[in-house]
Amino acid sequence: MAYLANRALERLGIQPAGATAIVQGFGNVGSYAALTLAERGLKIIGVSDHTACYYDPRGLDMPALQRHAAQNGVLAGFSNQMSFDRASCWRRNATCCAGGDGARDRRRTRRPVAMPRAGRGCHGPTMPEADTVLDQRRGEVFVIPDILCNAGGVVVSYFEWVQDLQQFFWTRRR
């Protein structure tokens, strides 16, 4: 998802160093997408999961959030000062918005908001209501199709399934 978001920015002529992102879902997909986007120069201004939402227009500390989520399994408890309303967070302007695997709150797919750009890596397509709004904003919103943005996760899930069936588990190195 992060790779495709960067390619989309490149195609749109937007420099990562001046771009911002909001990520909903902070599981395996969303957390690593946010961390990778930050490493590539984007400022992550908002993140959320089903337990908490944090927003800071100056940018969030992705390595610290990643450590917190790894230790606790959720975002809740990271900060009281940066806590933010999830619905309001998605109304903030950002260059990219993305939904990761932990994006359980499907409101993001019902009512697209002010984001001029979008990318999704979650397990589920946009709702029909969102498709209508996105279609009305054609040319204003660049959407990376779910079938493309989620392809890496699908391939990895397939490999995991094959390993389970064969009782043959690969090492991390392999």
Query: CATH assignment of 2-166, given 1.10.600.10, 3.40.50.880, 3.40.50.720, 3.30.70.270?
Result: 3.40.50.720
In the sheet with 142-143, reading across from the earlier edge strand, the strands are 53-55, 43-48, 20-24, 96-99, 117-120, 142-143
Residues in Cβ contact with 94 at an 8 Å cutoff, skipping those fewer than 6 apart? 20, 21, 22, 45, 46, 115, 117
User: In this structure, what are the phi and psi dihedrals at residue 167, rounded to the nearest 5 degrees?
Assistant: 50, 35
| pLDDT digits (tens), the chain, 174 positions | 888 888 889 988 999 998 999 988 888 788 888 999 999 999 999 998 889 999 999 999 999 999 999 999 999 999 877 888 777 777 777 888 776 554 444 444 444 444 445 455 555 566 777 778 777 877 777 878 777 877 777 788 888 898 889 888 878 787
Provide the whole-model pTM.
Answer: 0.75
